[in-house]
Structure 1
């Protein structure tokens, strides 16, 4: 696969919204001599003072949120620490799949390699051979589909002494756990981020197999008690952070209601219950739609699926089920018994569709076409 070779300055001058950056594959070598203060000067001298990012449209109309280049550089430094900067597992190269158009991609694909002082390959496509980095340790900046790609290229994964996979998007696909198992003990570390366009990074957890760990807040983020308790002991996650974005022409908010429900363990750690809009009660039983989708993917033979919350005038909260049949399965051959078993009730409606509308990072868009 051809990679357009850019210098670090050319990359930064193009900006995160440039078609050349988002719609092609490219490679940038950050000279190790540029790591630290030299890289910081280059980044802060080249990027515009204010960076604009737009929400994906998964929770409503896409909106612009702004942050300064200084806070972006600060957050990239925290991400570099999370993936092992200064440790024996520090990556010597980055292979990135997250479009720099989004805040996660701009930070992890653009700026984390600068913080690490290592070369980065950005791949627009999911097909073809993975790049030969010449390094024993690497960082993969992943989107939901990349875990299945890595499973198809296990020889590439096992060619590394250690591989760190950075992820920040929808709920982890089941392929993530499979990758940790099949890569071999201690070879892959998954670093998962919780955050949004509006907030930047909020919390992080590291996973190397076994039981899912708890979330820990970023060093500069504090939790504020929500105004109202959630269901079954959970509380809304409300945070304060110096990196909160702001709308054009508006001041930076003092705090942010994330839309998540959490079970606090102490001031810095918590368990994530789920997104408030993705928690519904069906027949009096609380259902986490993200978690249920995750489990369905392992049991239902299909190309894609989604559970969409709906309001029914007769029965209140309910769920519609959207499914894209696999290429080798006719619509009338779909076995939907796992849906009934995991939901504890029949979906209000089942929609067999040719595709499900998702953002570039795999998040479900609110409006689906039956």
Structure 2
């Protein structure tokens, strides 16, 4: 998640730079600066390769985040098209002119709203949705199946530090996820001597890397912390993050894969897997937070969906999974819901 840095805070950025702060959720909080030409290049790159011509933008992503700033502010300004800032009043009905080519800038909460308000978009000539900040929720995959081919939807992988790295289509409900494809100006720093299926950290080079506060220029390369398996020279599958790789009774478990399997097998549930240290039996384990009772999902379904993995240490059912303003699972809020462990029997 990112938020804008106020120019009164700390050392002033150069007048032509755009400042953003990382939230600290994936490392220490830090300020990063992007040049206007980097912002424009990313808009042009993704606009050309994924979006196409646009007559109207509807954005659910606040502009204090890089994703929201790029496609909810810079793109409509560069394309000289109107923008509906849905993030200010997400429940307000949509108004789309007949025959319009519409871009929707999505965070997870937007997809249920689009389901309910889809009739307002049915008269559009085309609808393209961009999704970033977190994995698409089950509602995204359901809407892609329901509304195609009018709706095309894309996931973007990136960060404040790197900008966009790669993309893939949001899969229709019931379909498997495609590999990520690197954007044309991104170089993937592969270990070419590694055997097929080898897991390695995703390291990238790009002209759109941001400049860190205190630095005179952007870094030459950036280690993302994502663990990947390459499927081609410019494609890969995400395995997890270096911080989400755990061992349960000596068996490696990538929590990103746990979440992917839950999404695939229980599309009506919202699930998040987090590491859990100090498991009394396995030593290191994980907890699955989940929401989906209204759809008929229960704990037995969760455990059955994870039969290919060492079982979770704990399951925590919630009315809804708490998320940050950028749509990512709120780790602190989730961990705060953990009930205390029951004492071991004596």
Equivalence for 1:151: 115
Equivalence for 1:52: 19
Are residues 1:166 and 2:133 paired? Answer: no
Of the candidates 226, 244, 248, which is equivalent to residue 209 of structure 2? Answer: 244
Deviation, 1:356, is 5.0
Deviations 1:270-314 (A, max 9, x none): 233233323434345444434433554663977x54321123375
CA distance in 2, matches of 1:228, 1:341: 38
8 Å contact kept, 1:339–1:346? no
Equivalence for 1:261: 227
Deviation, 1:109, is 0.7
Equivalence for 1:310: 276
Deviation, 1:188, is 1.0
8 Å contact kept, 2:197–2:229? no
CA distance in 2, matches of 1:101, 1:208: 28
Of the candidates 260, 266, 272, which is equivalent to residue 238 of structure 2? Answer: 272
**Alignment coverage as a number of residue pairs:** 318
When the two structures are superposed, what TM-score results if normalisation uses the length of structure 1? Answer: 0.75
Structure 2 unaligned segments of length 5 or more: list them.
7-13, 339-346
The 10-residue stretch of structure 1 (356-365 or 237-246) with the greater mean CA deviation from structure 2: 356-365
Deviations 1:325-356 (A, max 9, x none): 86x79xxx983112322334443234456765
CA distance in 2, matches of 1:182, 1:325: 20
Equivalence for 2:9: none
Deviation, 1:256, is 0.7
CA distance in 2, matches of 1:219, 1:168: 18
Equivalence for 2:47: 80
Equivalence for 1:190: 153
- Superposition map of 1:1-370 within 5 A: 48-85=15-52, 90-124=53-87, 125-184=89-148, 186-207=149-170, 209=172, 210-225=175-190, 232-251=197-216, 252-296=218-262, 299=266, 305-312=271-278, 315-323=282-290, 335-343=298-306, 344-351=309-316, 356-367=321-332, 368-369=335-336, 370=338
Deviations 1:204-241 (A, max 9, x none): 22357454333221222101135996995222111111
**Cα separation, partners in 2 of 1:63 and 1:354, compared to 1, 3 Å:** farther
8 Å contact kept, 1:82–1:191? no
When the two structures are superposed, what TM-score results if normalisation uses the length of structure 2? Answer: 0.79
